[in-house]
Chains A and B, each alone.
Chain A
Amino acid sequence: MFTVIGIMFIGLGLGLLLKRIQWLRHVSKTISYTIYLLLFLLGISVGANKEIVNNLGTLGWQAFILAFAGAIGSALAALIVYKCFFESKEVNNER
């Protein structure tokens, strides 16, 4: 986990130093391609995990309900926080 953050800060330093180089502007495009590759690799390790594949039917739906509940619950709480504490202020700050 800290390696990952460390590498990002190295990139940040590089970005600061090489600000004027033109091709760095295209880095958001290569980010997309890397995300595709990462998801493809994640898919491989999920598909190859026999424990997950064999129990997908019986345990999978329970896991799905819990995952969905967690995602929706946190999204709702995030919406409440955004509406109550951030939205109005940001409108004022804009220009």
Chain B
Amino acid sequence: MKGSLIVVGFFALGCILGWAGEGQWLPQFLVSGSVTTYVLYLLMLQVGISIGSDKKLFEILCSIRPKLLLVPLATIVGTLTFSALVSLVLAKWSVFDCLAVGSGFAYYSLSSILITELKEASLGVQLAAELGTIALMANIMREVMALLFAPLFYKYFGKFAPISVGGATTMDTTLPIITKCCGKELVFVSIFHGVLVDFTVPLFVSFFCSL
């Protein structure tokens, strides 16, 4: 928990700094996210080194079973079921609008762009942009939840929950925290889950936008 709080602290500090310094003294390269990409690369290199230097690597590799396909399936079914239920609370949006946002699976950049573009025909420019912004925020929030609360999800929902919550991000952004909290034996499950869910994002989003 202490680790999570430190992470929250750094995130909040970044938010304040970004908000206060945007367009003024804050260098553009920090805002655009290009540095983030390189830091992510650095992180992945370290994650690779930590896995490679692990003596139990081959045991882990052999532990991947077809049954583990159930993990991405759980992610998709669970997310979509609960997203559909949200439409009962949010009267403004239809079931399919909510499903389109939910099927971003934390992949915020792609899902928000797709929704803004594809919903324009049925909702009009203004509402499509609003739903796109909601998709952006909801999926960023989901990624942040996956990053910050991975230990809590692990504790209360079992060892696969941090992976499922991470959605499409479990092979890059959230992989380090998942490795740290669930153990290295789940790293290949996490990557395989991320790749598979990532692949379904454009399919599901465009499908629900067309309904």
Interface string of B137-174 (1 = CB under 8 A from A): 11111101111000001001111110111010001110
Q: Which of B10, B53, B142, B159 makes the CB contact (< 8 A) with A67?
A: B142
Q: Is the CB of B124 closer than 8 A to any CB of chain A? A: no
In Å, the complex CA distance between A24 and B49 comes to 8
| Contact status B71-A39, CB under 8 Å | no
| Contact status B141-A40, CB under 8 Å | no
Within 8 A of B (CB), among A37-81: 37-53, 55-56, 59-60, 62-81
In Å, the complex CA distance between A95 and B73 comes to 30
Interface string of B32-50 (1 = CB under 8 A from A): 1101100111111111111
B179 to chain A, nearest CB (A): 8
Given A64-B138, A64-B141, does the pair A47, B52 have CB atoms closer than 8 Å? no
Interface size on B, residues (CB 8 A): 100
Interface size on A, residues (CB 8 A): 73
| Contact status A39-B10, CB under 8 Å | yes
- Give every chain A residue within 8 A of B160 (Cβ-Cβ): 78-79, 81-82, 86
| Contact status B145-A71, CB under 8 Å | yes
Most buried by B among A34, A68, A85: A34
Within 8 A of A (CB), among B78-135: 78-83, 85-86, 89-90, 92-93, 98, 101-102, 105, 130, 133-135
Q: Which of B13, B18, B102 makes the CB contact (< 8 A) with A48?
A: B18
B189 to chain A, nearest CB (A): 11
| Contact status B134-A19, CB under 8 Å | no
| Contact status B101-A66, CB under 8 Å | yes
| Contact status B180-A8, CB under 8 Å | no
Given A39-B10, A39-B147, A70-B142, does the pair A4, B3 have CB atoms closer than 8 Å? no
Given A52-B136, A75-B157, A82-B158, does the pair A8, B18 have CB atoms closer than 8 Å? no
Q: Is the CB of B64 closer than 8 A to any CB of chain A? A: no
Q: Is the CB of B196 closer than 8 A to any CB of chain A? A: no
Given A43-B14, A75-B161, A78-B78, does the pair A59, B180 have CB atoms closer than 8 Å? no
Q: Which of B48, B57, B67, B138 makes the CB contact (< 8 A) with A66?
A: B138
| Contact status B74-A8, CB under 8 Å | no
Report the nearest A residue to B173, measured CB to CB.
A38
Given A62-B90, A85-B67, does the pair A42, B138 have CB atoms closer than 8 Å? no
Which 9 A-B pairs have CB atoms at the shortest separation, nearest pair first?
Answer: A11-B48, A15-B52, A43-B14, A73-B82, A47-B18, A77-B78, A63-B137, A67-B141, A77-B74
A to B CB contacts below 8 Å, 25 in the list? A3-B41, A5-B172, A12-B49, A15-B54, A19-B55, A32-B180, A35-B176, A39-B7, A39-B10, A39-B14, A40-B11, A43-B11, A43-B12, A45-B31, A45-B36, A46-B14, A46-B18, A66-B102, A66-B134, A71-B145, A73-B80, A75-B153, A77-B75, A78-B158, A80-B74
